[in-house]
Amino acid sequence: MSTAIEKNLIDRVAMGDLFRRRASSAPHSIALVEYRDGDRLSLTHRKLNQSLNKVARALRSLGVQPGDRVALAGLNSIEFSLAIYGCMKGGYVVVPLNHLQSTNDLSYTINHCEAKAVIVEDSLIEKFQHIKPALSSVDHWISMEVTNCSIPSGFLDFQDIIDQASDDEITDVKINDRDPLQILYTSGTTSKPKGVETSHLALFINTLAAAIELGVRPKMTGSSVMPMFHCAQHLVTTTVMHVGGTAIIFRAFDPKAFLEAIETEKIQFVFLLPLMWKALLDVPEIDDYDLSSVSVGMYGMAPMDQPSLERLKKRFNCPFVLASGQTEMTPLATVFHDVWPEKKGNYWGEGILTTDQAVMNDEGNLLPNGEVGEIVWRAPSVMNGYYKDPQATAEASKFDWHHSGDLGYFDEDRQLLFVDRKKDMIKTGGENVPSVKVERVIMAHSAVAATTVIGLPHPHWTEAVTAFVILRPDMDATEADIIQSCRAELGGYELPKRVIFLTTLATTATGKFLKAPLREQYTDLYSNEPA
């Protein structure tokens, strides 16, 4: 072994090393649990680390080298966890794929990152079969048998290749702190997805900060129900692994089954979207479950209406924290702690302990409390950059700060309030209306299950505030009802000009509503209105 590798092993920051440490400090503690076909599958931290060594060595035997990109596609499963963390052990760059994307976007992503191998869950192979001829860089296709679907020829079997590999610890790969760990492709609504390259150091620091800020204590049991290919659940699950805890893996979200799992597995840390938390409240038998194990409730990616938040706090009897950030921050940047009961509004709170947080105007000047500007950050968890896109990287790091693309301001206690995405601010009648503010107010209506608000072209107002609403089952409300319920909290210019009732809304994999398709579909809604 070379002197350089020996020195590197002693003092490096490498994400794969945390699994070796947990195998040593908590070898018999359960790391991963998944219920599948009526069986409870599990791996201890020792077995997990051994399995990750096998994955890394199996890929090496196929000719995959440290620094090569390995793309992964799958729903949440133990196998998906082995694939993503095994790549980290071997020094390969992980590229988790959003399998819900179009085949065009998937082809673009795999070609853009020049993946040497693609690992695909068996249930998704048919989709990837269609794009295989268009992918020039891929040397190996590997299938993960999870659902017992038939596998066509041309795929290696994931379990077979790791069964043949040694589980000896990986000690011959040099990994530097800022070496790329993963490339996460952001959803492209008007252009191709951008690849966010983040480092070993970025995720390592962010998991430790998340443990402190979010209350993930050593050996805690946490939920993994959001897609693990997404940066948010990836952070939470990895944080739980970092502290020697147990991740309960769910392939889909069923409110009643989730409550049963909390009771059975004594889940302590729960991360859900606001809509999912509200779905738990709608389970008629919720009071029959023992939910006393839950010590932290976390939500993110959308505002939570105050009535629902108060009901959740009462039923779960624990603090609820709002975590915010973005893929480029790996991803946690700011937390609104449950210590400000008097503060109402779309708060994002304070920068986590490893992050500088400020608000900046377009000239690069930092703004005082109360003034709206772009939210900017500095932190060791900031991305290396956009993969193969130096121009976009430079644009995001102007004035020596990372630019979020979000608007916000600080209150008198230096708590950050989110105003809107720069691109989603509605300009109506000479005023600026944050779409999220209107959404938060509409969500407080008892009949509303979901809403998204956009600005649509209007001959008089420039843009008209327009709400799209999904009602709760067996509940009713009219356009006038919704608008009237907003009057107590919104100014006249902030009120929706129209409320459109829908049965579904297109979303991203993490539940964010897609606004671009609505803008396109309803662009002429007000074309006959007087100027």
d(CA 189, CA 454): 15
Amino acid, single-letter form, for residue 201: L
Residue 491 counted as domain residue: yes
Asked if residue 468 and residue 358 are part of one domain, the reply reads: no
Per-residue confidence band for 29, with pLDDT thresholds at 50, 70 and 90:
very high
Residue 515 counted as domain residue: yes
Asked if residue 159 and residue 44 are part of one domain, the reply reads: yes
| pLDDT per residue as tens digits for the range 332-352 | 999 999 999 899 888 999 999
E-assigned strand segments in 440-501: 448-458, 462-471, 498-501
Residue 203 counted as domain residue: no
Question: What domain range is 291 assigned to?
Answer: 209-421
Counted domains in the chain: 3
Residues 6+ apart with CB under 8 A from 524: 457
E-assigned strand segments in 459-497: 462-471
Asked if residue 445 and residue 407 are part of one domain, the reply reads: no
Per-residue confidence band for 104, with pLDDT thresholds at 50, 70 and 90:
confident
Asked if residue 136 and residue 262 are part of one domain, the reply reads: no
| pLDDT per residue as tens digits for the range 47-58 | 999 999 999 999
d(CA 177, CA 202): 8
Residue 11 counted as domain residue: yes
Asked if residue 187 has pLDDT above 70, the reply is: no
Per-residue confidence band for 190, with pLDDT thresholds at 50, 70 and 90:
very low
Asked if residue 269 and residue 250 are part of one domain, the reply reads: yes
Ramachandran bin of 185, using left for φ above 0, alpha for ψ from -120 to 50, beta for the remaining angles: beta
| pLDDT per residue as tens digits for the range 221-277 | 999 999 999 999 999 999 999 999 999 999 999 999 999 999 999 999 999 999 899
Q: Is the pTM of this model over 0.85?
A: yes
Asked if residue 134 has pLDDT above 70, the reply is: yes
Per-residue confidence band for 110, with pLDDT thresholds at 50, 70 and 90:
very high
- Count the Cβ atoms, other than its own, within 10 Å of residue 243: 19
Asked if residue 165 and residue 97 are part of one domain, the reply reads: yes
Asked if residue 417 and residue 310 are part of one domain, the reply reads: yes
Mean pLDDT of 75-82: 98
Domain boundary among 378, 399, 421: 421
Domain boundary among 198, 225, 249: 198
